[in-house]
Amino acid sequence: MTQEFSDATKVIKTTTKPDPATGALNPPIQLSSTFAQPDLDHFGKYDYTRSGNPTRDVLEDSIAALEHGTRGFAFATGMAAISTAFLTLHQGDHVIVTNDVYGGTFRLVTQLLPNYGIDYTFVDCNDPEALKAAFTPKTKVVYIETPANPTLKVTDIKQVVRITHEHDALVFADNTFMTPIFQKPLDLGVDLVLHSGTKFLAGHSDILAGLIVTKTKELGDAVYFIQNAMGATLGISDCWLLLRGIKTLGVRVKAEAESALELAKWFQEQAIVEGVNYPGLTDFEGHDIQFSQATSGGAVLSFDIGSEDNVRKLVKELKIPVFSVSLGAVETILSYPPKMSHAELSADERHERGISDGLLRLSVGVEDVDDLKADFKQAFEKIEAANLVR
């Protein structure tokens, strides 16, 4: 697959396929559940859309090419992709999952997989001794996510791969935060990559989607069987919208990451800000590992303004960021993990993971960075003035 091109070219070349019959640049939205067969003895490439569809094929080939994998798969949501990946396991198997995993993945691993006899251990996957100690003879998969949400803690992918492969298990990596533009886990030895396509890949806060890319043909065959058997495939119109999103993925995430770095540095200088988490900052703990395995700090950062009271005021005063869950969109999205993504944790559990009461997560969009700075500046000034009066 067009691996000789760089990603900036590939996002266009893999999503644009002129139709030999009409010259149409974009793959048609093939809204057909079934495909007519020539006769009893000759069956075409496609028979039924759950098993395969030409529009979905273009999307699956595109993400496979971008992630340097053998095969890509599109699902209805990120969680459908993650569920499918875990269904490659069998009763009696054990998985090791990184501590700072996405909340939906935590719920799946702790509340659903045990019903099917799949056991789990949570561990800090960046601590080699703790990771080694977590293996059992039944461990089949180590599941990581880096940088983690919302602390942006970086995990050393190559180290996890080395330890895991020594134990004859596979590494699955959720690459939603970095996208293949900044980080290619399969090149670092990971066996299966996951995406919530809902975030950066779609990029416009419109559709839900999930993707898997496998390194080997064998794992690809196993995932294909489950995709077809379980049936949580991505709708064909949404495949087309995701292809549309991927065309601008490169320019969007680069612009967003540039603004994120500028904002992270600026936040560090503000009196009200007690701490900034962003892998692009040279004094951030995981910075060196980040830049040994990725080409950017990404477009997501988090910062602490001291108290829930200050957060409440900030949300009221800001004019540009949307206050909501989710991330990876053209709009700058501000979220408050203690009451949103991490509301299910107790206060103690949150604090243990570095999620303090004043912590906000910011997914930087494509707005003008000076406008964003000015907006935060006026809001911080209002909070400081209000706090003085009191």
Ligand X SMILES: *Cc1c(COP(=O)(O)O)cnc(C)c1O
* Residue 295 CB neighbour total at 10 angstroms: 15
Between CA 358 and CA 304 the distance in angstroms is 5
Of 102, 120, 224, 336, catalytic: 102
Contact flag: residue 79 with ligand X (CB under 6 A): yes
- Measured from the CB atom, the residue of 134 and 202 that comes closer to ligand X is 202
Contact flag: residue 78 with ligand X (CB under 6 A): yes
Question: What type of residue sits at position 236?
Answer: I
Contact flag: residue 98 with ligand X (CB under 6 A): no
Of 56, 71, 184, 199, catalytic: 199
- Measured from the CB atom, the residue of 79 and 299 that comes closer to ligand X is 79
Of 17, 46, 50, 309, catalytic: 50
Q: What is the b/e burial string over 327-364, where b = at least 16 CB atoms within 10 angstroms of the residue's CB? A: bbbbbbbbbbbbeebbeebeeeebeebbbbbbbbbbbb
Report the SS3 class of residue 339: coil
Q: How far is the CB of 269 from ligand X (least distance, A)?
A: 29
**Bridge partners, residue 71, by sequence:** 214
Between CA 120 and CA 298 the distance in angstroms is 29
Convert residues 166-205 into a mask of x (bound to ligand X by CB under 6 A) and - (unbound).
Answer: --------x-xx------------------x-xx------
CB 294 within 8 A of CB 271: no
382 is catalytic: no
Q: How far is the CB of 161 from ligand X (least distance, A)?
A: 19
Phi, psi of 208 (to 5 degrees): -100, 140
- Contact residue for ligand X among 14, 77, 310, 356 (CB under 6 A): 77
- Measured from the CB atom, the residue of 71 and 361 that comes closer to ligand X is 361
Between CA 386 and CA 278 the distance in angstroms is 28
* Residue 90 CB neighbour total at 10 angstroms: 11
Contact flag: residue 210 with ligand X (CB under 6 A): yes
Select from 10-18, 74-82, 131-139, 368-376 the region that touches ligand X (CB under 6 A).
74-82
Contact flag: residue 102 with ligand X (CB under 6 A): yes
Of residues 285-324, those binding ligand X (CB under 6 A) = none
312 is catalytic: no
Residue of 13, 7, 8 whose CA lies nearest to 25 = 13
Q: How far is the CB of 311 from ligand X (least distance, A)?
A: 21
Contact flag: residue 208 with ligand X (CB under 6 A): yes
Report which residue's Cβ sits closest to ligand X: 78
Show the DSSP H helices in 184-216 as ranges: none
Residue 4, H or E segment: none
What token pair was written down for 144?
């990581």
Question: What type of residue sits at position 284?
Answer: F
- Measured from the CB atom, the residue of 62 and 84 that comes closer to ligand X is 84
Contact flag: residue 104 with ligand X (CB under 6 A): yes
Report the SS3 class of residue 120: strand
Q: How far is the CB of 316 from ligand X (least distance, A)?
A: 26
50 is catalytic: yes
Between CA 262 and CA 280 the distance in angstroms is 10
Contact flag: residue 150 with ligand X (CB under 6 A): no
Q: How far is the CB of 25 from ligand X (least distance, A)?
A: 28
Q: Which amino acids are annotated catalytic?
A: 50, 102, 174, 199
Interface positions with ligand X (CB under 6 A) = 77-79, 102, 104, 145, 149, 174, 176-177, 196, 198-199, 208, 210
